[in-house]
Amino acid sequence: MSRSKKINKYKSNRIMSFMFSLLLFIVAAPALSLPSQELLLSDDVVQKTQLLNVSEQLDVINSLNSQKSEDAKTLITALEQLQSTQSFSNVETLRLSLLRCFNLLEFGEFNQAITLAKQGELNARQLKYDSARPYFIQCEAAANQSLGNVLQEQLQTEEALRLARRYSEQQAMVNGLYLQSRQNTSLENYNQSIEDLRLALDIFDDAQEQFQQWYLLPKSFVQLEISNVFFSMGNITESLHFAEVAANDLSAFGKLNFAFAVNLARINIEIDNKSGVLLYLQKAEAENNRNTAERDLAVGNALLAAINSYIGHNDTAEQQALSSIEAFTEFQEPLYVMRIKRTLAKIYFAQKKDTQAISLLNEIIEQASELKQFSDLEEFNHIISEYYATNNQFELAYQFQVQRFEAAKQAAAKLNNAHFIQYQARLAEQHNTPPVEEATPNINQNLAITALIILLLSIGLVIFLTKKPQVTVVDKKEETQKQRIDNVLLNAKQGHYQMSMLLVNINHIRQVDIPYVEQQFQLALREQDLLFRHSLDELIILLPHTSSAGATRVMHQIEQILSNWKSDVKASIGLASLQQLDTFEVLMKRAILNQLSKMKPQDTKVT
> What pLDDT band is residue 376 in, cutting at 50, 70 and 90?
confident
**Is the pLDDT score of 108 beyond 70?**
yes
Which pLDDT tens digit goes with each residue over 261-284? 888 898 888 888 889 999 999 998
The size of the chain, in residues, is: 607
Beta bridge pairs of residue 573: 504
Q: Which has the higher per-residue pLDDT, 33 or 61?
A: 61
Which residue did the predictor score with more confidence, 330 or 96?
A: 96
For the chain, give percent helix, strand, coil, nearest 5: 75, 5, 25
Helix (H, G, I), strand (E, B) or coil at 533: strand
pLDDT tier for residue 414 given thresholds of 50, 70 and 90: low
Q: Distance between CA 496 and CA 500 in Å, rounded?
A: 13
pLDDT band at 425 (very low <50, low <70, confident <90, very high): low
The dihedral of CA 466, 471, 477, 482: what is its sign? positive
Residue predicted with more confidence, 229 or 535: 229
Amino acid (one-letter) located at 229: V
Mean pLDDT of 227-253: 86
Task: Give the Å distances, CA to CA, from 304 to 263, 286, 361.
Answer: 11, 11, 20
| Long-range interactions of 220-223: CB distance < 8 A, separation 24+ | 220/246, 220/247, 220/249, 220/251, 220/252, 220/256, 220/260, 221/66, 221/178, 221/251, 221/256, 222/174, 222/178, 222/197, 223/249
Residue 35 and residue 40: Cα distance in Å, rounded? 7
**pLDDT band, very low/low/confident/very high, at 123 (cuts 50, 70, 90):** very high
Using CA atoms, how far apart are residues 450 and 577, in angstroms rounded to an integer?
70
What is the mean pLDDT of the segment spanning 110-118?
95
**pLDDT score of 467:** 45
The pLDDT, as a whole number, for residue 411 is 75
Per-residue pLDDT, 80: 94
Task: Specify the pLDDT at position 449.
Answer: 46
Strand order in the sheet with 499-505: 530-535, 538-544, 499-505, 572-577
- 45-54, 246-255, 466-475: which range is least confident on average? 466-475
Q: What does the pLDDT read at residue 516?
A: 82
- CA separation for the pair 10, 478 (Å, rounded): 59
Q: Is the pLDDT of residue 27 over 80?
A: no
Please give the pLDDT value at position 443: 44
CA distance linking residue 169 with residue 192, whole number of Å: 22
CA angle 592, 535, 487 (to 5 degrees): 75
Buried residues in 398-422 as b, exposed as e (16+ CB within 10 A)? bebbebbbbbbbbbbeebeebeeeb
pLDDT value at position 8?
53
Q: For residue 460, is pLDDT > 60?
A: no
Q: Give 70-97 pLDDT, tens digit per residue.
A: 999 999 999 999 998 999 999 999 999 9
DSSP secondary-structure letter at 501?
E
Task: Decide if 371 contacts 335 (C-beta within 8 A).
Answer: yes
- Which segments of 465-553 are extended strands (E)? 499-505, 530-535, 538-544
- Using 50, 70 and 90 to split pLDDT, how confident is the model at 606? very low
Confidence band (pLDDT; 50, 70, 90) for 418? Answer: low
| Rounded-to-10 torsion of CA 4, 6, 9, 10 | -110
Q: Residue 451: is its pLDDT beyond 80? A: no
Q: For residues 385 and 535, is the Cβ–Cβ distance under 8 A?
A: no
Q: Cα 209 from chain centroid?
A: 25
Please report, for residues 249, 290, 447, 502, the alpha-carbon distance to residue 255 in angstroms, rounded to integers and kept in the order given.
Answer: 14, 9, 42, 44
Is 173 a residue whose pLDDT tops 90? yes
Query: Residue 110 pLDDT > 80, yes or no?
Result: yes
Q: How confident is the model at residue 496 (pLDDT cuts 50, 70, 90)?
A: confident
Residue 26 has pLDDT above 60, yes or no: no
Lowest-pLDDT choice from 107-116, 140-149, 424-433: 424-433
Pairing of strands 538-544, 530-535: antiparallel
Q: What percent of the chain has a predicted confidence (pLDDT) above 90? A: 35
pLDDT(481) > 60 = yes
- β-sheet bridge partners, residue 575: 502
The set of residues, in sequence order, having a beta carbon less than 8 Å from that of 470 and lying 6+ positions away, is 168
Sign (positive or negative) of CA dihedral 276, 277, 278, 283:
positive
The tens digit of pLDDT for each residue in 560-587 reads: 888 877 666 677 899 999 987 778 887 8
pLDDT class of 253 with cuts at 50, 70, 90: confident
Question: What radius of gyration, in Å, describes the C-alpha atoms of the chain?
Answer: 28
> Is the pLDDT reported for residue 183 higher than 50?
yes
pLDDT score, position 166 = 87
Phi, psi of 65 (to 5 degrees): -55, -45
Q: State mean pLDDT over 362-385.
A: 90
pLDDT band at 256 (very low <50, low <70, confident <90, very high): confident
**Whole-number percent of the chain with pLDDT over 70:** 81
Q: How far apart are CA 578 and CA 592, in angstroms?
A: 14
pLDDT at residue 438 above 60?
A: no
Average pLDDT score over residue span 474-502: 77
